[in-house]
Amino acid sequence: MVPVAIILSVLVLKISGSTVYTAGKDSGISSLTEDPDIGEILIAGHPVLQNLSTEPGIVEVELTASKERLSLKPGAESNVYAYNGRVPGPLLEASEGDSVIIHFRNDLPEKTTVHWHGLHLPFVMDGSPFHPVEPGDTFTYTFRIHEGTAGTYWYHPHPHHRTAWQVGMGLYGGIIIRDPSDPLPDTLTERLLILSDNRFDEDGEIEFAEPGSRQERVDDMNGREGDVLFVNDEVMPELSIRSGEIQRWRIVNASGARIYRLGLEGHSFTYIGSDGGLFEHPKEVDEIILSNGERAELLVHGTGDPGSKVILQDLPYDRYMPMFRPSNWDEINNLLTLRYTDEQPIQEPFKVPETLRKIPELNIDDATETRVMRMTNGKINSKTMDMNRVDETAKLGATEIWDIRNLVGMDHPFHLHGFQFQVIDRNGKPVQQRKWEDTINVPGFESARFIVRYDNYPGLWMFHCHILDHEDQGMMGVLEVK
């Protein structure tokens, strides 16, 4: 997904264990690695968008979407869409309080947008279908990073009816927002794992279903899944860890339809965060489910022996209606190898705090409205998306409850733009963990309720299923906040 030379150099870097140095906390930057071949700075394993500003508190970058010819699948070259010539696009890194300026240029042969998935920002900067950037045009996205935002986000296109195509062609990239007072030590090796999948024809080109074909029908229903699974820009990359070490992994599900059930053989995770940053309290888990658009933050404990290795796996997860369930749905997919160095075990001088941060509770007594969203395949409340229609209207500053009901037998991940929410309950059972989210997966025939407050920004905000094919079919609506 990036030029072959960079793939090789990054691979060398990872296998060699890399030279990790740590910046001071004040810089807001944790693990940096330097590619020895080309001198490129990597953050959490990713090339980073270069900050053109020397002023403190300003992050000013350039981002261009263009058609490129790159190697995605090993051994083949493909026509792709790329941000700054890369798939995934370079990492956007900023800190709470920063003002972010992104000079975007659309060099694609079609209109696009850049949606800053999960960030709380003005409507015109959201990169929603209401603000397309025509081919050859530029647009400068500017927004401020609010306090409490620190976490893992991502950016991707959001043009009406074309999101699945453009993301499938390679347009997605990661975002890390830093908290200068992050409760976790910046000595932890940090990794950003952007998960994606794709499908290729025998010539190595990205394959989409033929119009009118049975595969198109399956893709329309399930969303388009690929049989080649990527972690960042590689298939089955090898990462390293030292026995006894604790690493901080940030994971993004950038797949258009695949839901990941992640497990690391013989290891548990400390689950510390999701869409909107750190939880209030960490939780020990054996595996996590990450639906489309969602993010997770995990602490990975190096409990293996020196010289051993372990595989991060995508375990079977049945998200399908029976009539469209793929025959190989119950197979395990290997995602990456975590290899233990030969070094002697270390004792990480660090105990995971019992409280990671205080998250203000949105009180259901303050809710002035409950909005019911009945999700069927391709529709919400029996309607498909109409750019000229407002489906829901709310007052700026109001606190409301959304009741998301999945009436069919497959999972639908529900995403609300612009505002992070707190899940209250699932199927009537209270959710105890307090956290901020912008996407919630609702399995077949299940329901969930969340509470949200429409702070700061009026506008027309999208809500939709984040299976990108469903979104493109019109499983999306508009909330006007005014």
Q: Is 215 in the site for other proteins (CB under 8 A)?
A: no
Among 62, 107, 343, 446, binds other proteins (CB under 8 A): 446
Among 274, 406, 422, 473, binds other proteins (CB under 8 A): 406
Give the residue with the Cβ less far from other proteins, 152 or 377: 377
Stretch that binds other proteins, among 21-29, 128-136, 402-410, 458-466 (CB under 8 A): 402-410
Give the residue with the Cβ less far from other proteins, 300 or 423: 423
Stretch that binds other proteins, among 85-93, 110-118, 442-450, 461-469 (CB under 8 A): 442-450
Number of residues that bind other proteins (CB under 8 A): 23
Give the residue with the Cβ less far from other proteins, 313 or 473: 473
Provide the sign of the torsion angle of the four alpha carbons 67, 191, 117, 160, taken in this order. Answer: positive
Give the residue with the Cβ less far from other proteins, 35 or 446: 446
Among 374, 431, 434, 458, binds other proteins (CB under 8 A): 374
Binding flags for other proteins, 344-363, as an x/- string (CB under 8 A): --------------------
Give the residue with the Cβ less far from other proteins, 334 or 370: 370
Stretch that binds other proteins, among 78-86, 88-96, 251-259, 376-384 (CB under 8 A): 376-384
Among 117, 131, 379, 417, binds other proteins (CB under 8 A): 379
In the complex, the smallest distance separating the C-beta of residue 477 from other proteins, rounded to whole angstroms, is: 14
Instruction: List residues bridging with 386 in a β-sheet.
Output: none
Q: Is 372 in the site for other proteins (CB under 8 A)?
A: yes
Stretch that binds other proteins, among 63-71, 156-164, 401-409, 473-481 (CB under 8 A): 401-409
Instruction: List residues bridging with 358 in a β-sheet.
Output: none
Stretch that binds other proteins, among 143-151, 335-343, 352-360, 445-453 (CB under 8 A): 445-453
In the complex, the smallest distance separating the C-beta of residue 421 from other proteins, rounded to whole angstroms, is: 19
Among 377, 399, 420, 439, binds other proteins (CB under 8 A): 377
Stretch that binds other proteins, among 35-43, 150-158, 279-287, 315-323 (CB under 8 A): 315-323
Among 243, 253, 274, 447, binds other proteins (CB under 8 A): 447
Q: Is 408 in the site for other proteins (CB under 8 A)?
A: yes
Stretch that binds other proteins, among 148-156, 164-172, 261-269, 319-327 (CB under 8 A): 319-327
217/306 Cα distance (integer angstroms): 48
Stretch that binds other proteins, among 172-180, 241-249, 280-288, 404-412 (CB under 8 A): 404-412
Q: Is 431 in the site for other proteins (CB under 8 A)?
A: no
Q: What burial class does residue 429 get, using C-beta atoms within 10 Å of its C-beta: 0-12 exposed, 13-18 middle, 19+ buried?
A: exposed
Q: Is 428 in the site for other proteins (CB under 8 A)?
A: yes
Q: If DSSP states are collapsed to H, E and C, what string results for the chain?
A: CCCHHHHHHHHHHHHCCCCEEECCHHHCCCEEEECCCCCCEEECCEEECCCCCCCCCEEEEEEEEEEEEECCCCCCCEEEEEECCECCEEEEEEECCCEEEEEEEEECCCCECCEEECCCCCHHHCCCCCCCECCCCEEEEEEECCCCCCEEEEEECCCCCCHHHHHHCCCCEEEEEECCCCCCCCCCEEEEEEEEEECECCCCCECCCCCCCHHHHHHHHHCCCCCEEEECCECCCEEEECCCCEEEEEEEECCCCCCEEEEECCCCEEEEEECCEEEEEEEEECEEEECCCCEEEEEEECCCCCCCEEEEEECCCCCCCHHHCCCCCCCCEEEEEEEECCCCCCCCCCCCCCCCCCCCCCCHHHEEEEEEEEEECCEECCECCCCCCCCEEECCCCEEEEEEEECCCCCEEEEECCCCEEEEEECCEECCCCCCECEEEECCCCEEEEEEECCCCCEEEEEEECCHHHHHHCCEEEEEEC
Q: Is 105 in the site for other proteins (CB under 8 A)?
A: no
Give the residue with the Cβ less far from other proteins, 25 or 426: 426
Give the residue with the Cβ less far from other proteins, 288 or 408: 408
Q: Which residues bind other proteins (CB under 8 A)?
A: 321-323, 372, 374, 376-379, 381-382, 403, 405-410, 427-428, 445-447
